[in-house]
Amino acid sequence: MTDHYDEEAQVEQLRQWLRDNWFPLASGLALGLAAIFGWQGWGQHQDGRASDASHVFGDLGKAAGQNKYDDAKAMADRLVKDFSDTPYAAAGALKLAELGVLDGKLDEAAARLQWVIQFEQNPGFMARVGALLHLRNKAYDAGLLPLARLRLAQVLWQQNKADEALQQLAGDAGTYAPLYAELRGDIKLSQGDRAAARGAYEQALQASAADAVSRDGLQRKLDDLGDAAAVKS
């Protein structure tokens, strides 16, 4: 009999606890469900934007393949204006810069590359958090920064702005260390600084993989300098 009364007392205590705490429980459940459905909705929204941006980027690629610079420029502008929260904005700017170089529009190519550099340096707090947490459709890729700098340095050198080009090559090269060093050597050689050119080519050769196809070209550049202390593969 005592056990029966104890069970009833426990049940009554549970009922009273539920009466006293039903609102916080219901609120917590509602917030949890809202978070789950909100996350799913945000993911679907991001997927939809990425899909739209992908189509625009595809159109840009088709225009570039047909050497239709104005059409490609319109697509790149749209990516920057409407889809800067996707990776396609920076990719589109890089593609248009490449087309601009081929089309002799060096000033416009430099402007596009500078935009990529500025965006990659300051992508915004949420973009950084998204990349850090590996969230889908992150807007920026830190690996694009050294690539954009390398290409901008190439453009600046073509514009006879050697010192500005070297400034771009002074940053972190990332995975492009051999290309950075080789371009630095080419610029220094064009300025008549053979010692600096030799050092840069040696650095490029050392940074290159053992099976890299660029090693032969680098070795020839060192050999052409005559007294180069070439680094043999």
Q: What is the pLDDT of residues 74-107, one digit of tens each?
A: 999 999 898 887 888 999 999 999 999 999 999 9
Q: Which domain holds residue 131?
A: 46-161
* C-alpha span between 118 and 115 (Å, rounded): 5
| Phi, psi for 231 (deg, rounded to 5) | -90, 115
Domain match, 121 and 211 both: no
Residue 147 has pLDDT above 80, yes or no: yes
Tokens 């053979």 label which residue? 194
The DSSP symbol for 139 reads S
The answer to whether 66 touches 42, Cβ cutoff 8 Å, is: no
Q: If phi over 0 gives left and psi between -120 and 50 gives alpha, with beta otherwise, what is residue 93?
A: alpha
Whole-angstrom Cα distance, residue 144 to residue 44? 26
* Nearest-5° Cα angle at 10, 7 to 13: 150
Do 90 and 114 belong together in one domain?
Answer: yes
Q: What pLDDT is recorded for position 48?
A: 61
Q: Are residues 73 and 146 in the same domain?
A: yes
Confidence tier at 232 by pLDDT (50, 70, 90): very low
* Pair (82, 119) in one structural domain: yes
CB-based contacts of 214: which residues, under 8 Å, 6+ apart? 178, 182, 204, 208
Q: Give the single-character DSSP code of 226.
A: S
Phi, psi for 167 (deg, rounded to 5): -65, -40
Residues 130 and 190 in one domain: no
Using one digit for the tens of pLDDT, what is the confidence trace for 175-231? 999 999 999 999 999 999 999 999 999 999 999 998 888 899 999 999 998 754 444
Last residue of a domain, one of 131, 161, 191: 161
Predicted confidence at residue 126, as pLDDT, reads 47
Report yes or no: 83 and 113 within 8 Å, Cβ to Cβ.
Answer: no
Domain contains 138: yes
Task: Count how many domains the chain has.
Answer: 2
Q: What is the pTM of this model?
A: 0.72
Q: Which of 141, 161, 181 is the last residue of a domain?
A: 161
For 226, phi and psi rounded to 5 degrees?
A: 80, -75
Q: Is residue 30 part of a domain?
A: no
CA distance 85 to 103: 28
**Cβ partners under 8 Å of residue 115, min gap 6:** 80, 93
Do 183 and 146 fall into the same domain? no
> What pLDDT score does 138 carry?
57
Mean pLDDT of 146-158: 96
